[in-house]
């Protein structure tokens, strides 16, 4: 199976496989990027949101994507479902396989309800979590965060052992900073069979899995 993954800033991914388009975690950093255009999320079949933080969930993008969609279903947590309902957006909490992925504790206190998604049997997206124990062959991994560490992310990646790991959640780092930090990640993965594939914002990579 071939899957094409486009990174649209922070944790937002557009996944195209087997004739379907799935949008994951479209947040405000995507919306605010001058390179972003709503045509990029046209024709999606499904919208997945792991949790309610603004960098993962822009109601404006969700509404625009739905208007341009193939009768897409929004799938998310109960908490985010209530937030979307305030903007008259219906959503479900079922459909795409989910997996336990608790949000890590924030400096300000406990994190919100968070769920991980397995997409098309090939990709796993854990949202804001380093506490999950399962993955598909490709893992979207948050290496940069205010609630975790690169060490914890590398350790978790090695534990769940995907074939390929794609860094997400790196809006916080400069381009030079990303190069430096992902060099450290690569060093931390040396000796494993895990391939690190860094996708730049607004770039796409096609995988055969």
Hey, what domains does the chain have and what are their CATH numbers? 2-199 (3.60.15.10)
Tell me: pLDDT of 93 over 90: no
| 76 vs 49: CA distance, rounded Å | 5
The pLDDT, as a whole number, for residue 95 is: 84
Q: How many whole angstroms from its chain centre is CA 78?
A: 18
pLDDT grade for 43, boundaries at 50, 70 and 90:
very high
79 neighbors 112 (Cβ within 8 angstroms): yes
Q: Kindly state the average pLDDT of the residues 62-84.
A: 94
Phi, psi torsion values for 122, nearest 5 degrees? -125, -25
Helix H or strand E segment including 141: strand 138-142
pLDDT grade for 6, boundaries at 50, 70 and 90:
very high
Q: Kindly state the average pLDDT of the residues 79-93.
A: 93
9 neighbors 170 (Cβ within 8 angstroms): no
| β 138-142/164-168 pair status | parallel
| 94 vs 90: CA distance, rounded Å | 13
**C-alpha closest to that of 4 among 168, 120, 99, 142:** 120
**C-alpha closest to that of 96 among 69, 71, 117, 74:** 117
């Amino acid at each position: 199976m071939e899957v094409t993954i486009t990174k649209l800033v922070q944790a937002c991914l557009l996944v195209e496989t087997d004739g379907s388009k799935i949008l994951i975690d479209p947040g405000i950093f995507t919306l605010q990027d001058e390179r972003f255009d709503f045509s990029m999320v046209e024709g999606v079949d499904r919208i997945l949101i792991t949790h309610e933080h603004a960098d993962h969930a822009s109601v404006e993008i969700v509404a625009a994507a739905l208007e341009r969609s193939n009768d897409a279903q929004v799938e998310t947590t109960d908490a985010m479902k209530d937030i979307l309902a305030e903007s008259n957006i219906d959503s479900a909490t079922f459909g795409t396989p989910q997996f336990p992925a608790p949000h890590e504790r924030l400096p300000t206190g406990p994190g919100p309800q968070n769920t991980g998604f397995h997409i098309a049997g090939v990709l796993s997206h854990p949202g804001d979590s380093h506490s999950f124990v399962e993955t598909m062959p490709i893992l979207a991994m948050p290496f940069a965060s205010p609630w975790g560490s690169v060490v914890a992310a590398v350790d978790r990646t090695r534990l769940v052992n995907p074939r390929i790991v794609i860094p997400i959640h790196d809006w916080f780092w400069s381009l030079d900073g990303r190069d430096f930090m992902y060099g450290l990640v690569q060093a931390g993965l040396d000796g494993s069979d895990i391939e690190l594939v860094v996708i730049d914002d607004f770039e796409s990579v096609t995988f055969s899995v």
